[in-house]
Amino acid sequence: MRLSELVAALPSTRVSGPDVDVRAIRTDSRTVEAGDLFVAYPGVTVDGHGFVPGAVERGAAAVVVERHVEVPAGVARVFVSSGRAAWALLTAAWHGFPSRELTVVGVTGTDGKTTTSSLIGAILEAAHIPTGLVTTVAAEIAGQSLDTGFHTTTPEPPEIQAYLRSMVAKGCQVAVLETTSHALALDKVLGIDYDLAVVTNITHEHLDFHGTWHAYLEAKARLFEGLAASARKPGVPKTAVLNAEDASFGRLSGLPYDRRFTYAVAQSADLMAREVVLDGRGMHFVATTPRGEIPIEARLLGRFNVSNALAAVGAALALDIEPAAIKSGLARFRGVPGRLEAIDLGQDFSVVVDFAHTPNSLRRVLELGRTLTKGRVLVVFGCAGERDAAKRPLMGQAAGELADAVYLTAEDPRREDLVQILGEIATGVRAAGGDPMLVSDRGEAVAAAIAAAAPGDLVLICGKGHEQTMAFGDEERPWDDRAAARAALGALGWART
């Protein structure tokens, strides 16, 4: 593709040098080959501008830079205000802006994004609408599941644009994208023309990156603000689905949308839940909507999932899905791997693995756990290293208040001192009157909690969910909470026959 064709996707730029043919777009100078376009931008720890000479030595035909960098004659320079934003837009142009050939649904929020995205996918499947889905768990395209990488929710621009192009090639009509605050703040999703934006909730998380809750909210708001600026598609109004009970509502409700649906469980909204019945098998409620009442049955546990289900119903109505398909899709939904996933080898107590890794999600899962058992609730969790440290005592406080036994352990410590991480969580546990057990090895912590469980108890293993690795230093080691739980149960003699 000619450089001039790619650069046309950028809102403002200055080009110095020839209009070269571009073979590929790179941001890692070590992967550059002859004819490539190298995009430089300041990163968290290193500045890509320092690697421009190396990229040129390896054959880069053009470079994208934010400031003056010397290059040999014959190498084109593209000057931009943001290399990250340029990377996303150039990548979208490289793939032919595939989002413009799809109806694109973005789901954001602190908790419940994956479940809500998956519920929307299930409804679309029931409506026989070919759909692509990208979540924390995987990318699902035309029946094929693709691993999106370690600890990844929204992939980098080359991957997400390739997924979208694959969706178009395989006949998908709708793309449902779990969209994080990081992806929005770092411009990963520039060049994706969203048509429908859904928010679950915005609570305490990622303050290590955003600094304040307000900045975190502003990053999320970019998804909704972008609706008005994105390319319009025939017959597809720009629509927002908002949680009327969440602190984000005031900020998001006043933006210019073509349509807006609000939802709430305990107050007035466009979509509400009445006659809610929750038990150990799932939920039943009647969704009151602008399209009439829809009886809902779903194998989802917890009142917080009533809210997620309403968000999915709102998205479905925005996509003009018939109520019968909404009802059918939710009824057939079988859950998300690693979200309230029961591990059952015939033992006389319950073991559940969940992804809860924020103060709000841990508290909600523990509150749910108390309703699921008359016995004790034992919880195993930790907090990630090099991430939001302010949440650690808050998570400890939730565990101290709601669990009968607390096992604190490793959870992607990375290069941070694990003992310090556990101590910061333990401070919150003790402040709430709890007496935590600190077990650095996660496998040993899981085994200890399961060994301590009595008949009728509930063991909650939180924080990793579906993830298949754990980060120590710069190394990703194989890990699966579900496998660890099965191994611990097996060592005690439990085995489903």
For residue 209, pLDDT over 80 is answered with: no
Residue 302's pLDDT band, with cuts at 50, 70 and 90, is confident
* Amino acid 137: pLDDT: 85
Contact 38, 64 (CB under 8 A): yes
Average the pLDDT over 82-87 and give the result: 96
What's the CA gap between 138 and 151, in Å, rounded? 11
* Amino acid 152: pLDDT: 54
What's the CA gap between 348 and 375, in Å, rounded? 11
* Amino acid 300: pLDDT: 92
- Angle between the N-to-C axes of helices 323-332 and 303-318, in degrees from 0 to 180, rounded to the nearest 10: 140
For residue 204, pLDDT over 80 is answered with: no
For residue 236, pLDDT over 80 is answered with: yes
Contact 462, 380 (CB under 8 A): yes
Residue 261's pLDDT band, with cuts at 50, 70 and 90, is very high
- Sign of the dihedral defined by the CA atoms of residues 338, 344, 347, 348, in that order: positive
Query: What is the total residue count of the chain?
Result: 497
* Amino acid 155: pLDDT: 87
Upper half-sphere CA count for residue 272 (Cβ side, 13 Å): 7
Residue 206's pLDDT band, with cuts at 50, 70 and 90, is low
* Amino acid 185: pLDDT: 87
* Amino acid 429: pLDDT: 98
Lowest mean pLDDT among 1-5, 171-175, 385-389: 385-389
What's the CA gap between 90 and 95, in Å, rounded? 9
- Sign of the dihedral defined by the CA atoms of residues 185, 189, 192, 198, in that order: negative
Q: How far apart are the first and last CA of the chain?
A: 59
Kindly give, in sequence order, each residue whose CB lies less than 8 Å from that of residue 52, ignoring residues fewer than 6 positions away. Answer: 29, 38, 40, 60, 63, 65, 69, 71
Closest to 190 (Cα-Cα) out of 320, 35, 82, 327 = 82
Average the pLDDT over 204-219 and give the result: 75
Mean of pLDDT over the chain: 93
What's the CA gap between 450 and 407, in Å, rounded? 11
Q: Angle at Cα 309 formed by Cα 207 and Cα 218, nearest 5°?
A: 25
Average the pLDDT over 300-327 and give the result: 96
Between these two residues, 152 and 315, which has the higher pLDDT value?
A: 315
Average the pLDDT over 111-130 and give the result: 95
**Structural domains in the chain, sorted by start:** 3-93 (3.40.1390.10), 96-332 (3.40.1190.10), 341-491 (3.90.190.20)
Give the single-character DSSP code of 30: G
DSSP assignment of 156-190 equals -HHHHHHHHHHHHHTT-SEEEEE--HHHHHTTTTT
* Amino acid 213: pLDDT: 83
* Amino acid 281: pLDDT: 83
Closest to 27 (Cα-Cα) out of 91, 106, 99 = 91
Contact 183, 154 (CB under 8 A): yes
* Amino acid 334: pLDDT: 87
* Amino acid 147: pLDDT: 74
Lowest mean pLDDT among 114-118, 138-142, 458-462: 138-142
- Sign of the dihedral defined by the CA atoms of residues 118, 482, 460, 457, in that order: positive
* Amino acid 149: pLDDT: 64
pLDDT tens column, 27-84: 999 999 999 999 999 987 889 999 999 999 999 999 999 999 999 999 999 999 999 9
Lowest mean pLDDT among 180-184, 220-224, 244-248, 288-292: 180-184
Residue 10 identity: L
**% of the chain beyond a pLDDT of 90:** 82
What's the CA gap between 462 and 381, in Å, rounded? 5
pLDDT tens column, 329-370: 999 998 888 888 989 999 999 999 999 989 989 999 999 999
- Buried b / exposed e over 131-153, threshold 16 CB at 10 Å, is bbbbbbbbbbbeeeeeebeeeeb
For residue 150, pLDDT over 60 is answered with: no
144-146 and 139-141 beta bridge pairing: antiparallel
The conformational region for residue 377 under phi > 0 = left, psi -120 to 50 = alpha, else beta, is: beta
Alpha helices in 292-390 (DSSP H): 303-318, 323-332, 359-372
What's the CA gap between 216 and 15, in Å, rounded? 34
Closest to 257 (Cα-Cα) out of 278, 236, 275 = 236
SS3 268: coil
271-279 and 282-289 beta bridge pairing: antiparallel
Between these two residues, 408 and 144, which has the higher pLDDT value?
A: 408
pLDDT tens column, 216-234: 899 899 999 999 889 899 9
Contact 65, 27 (CB under 8 A): no
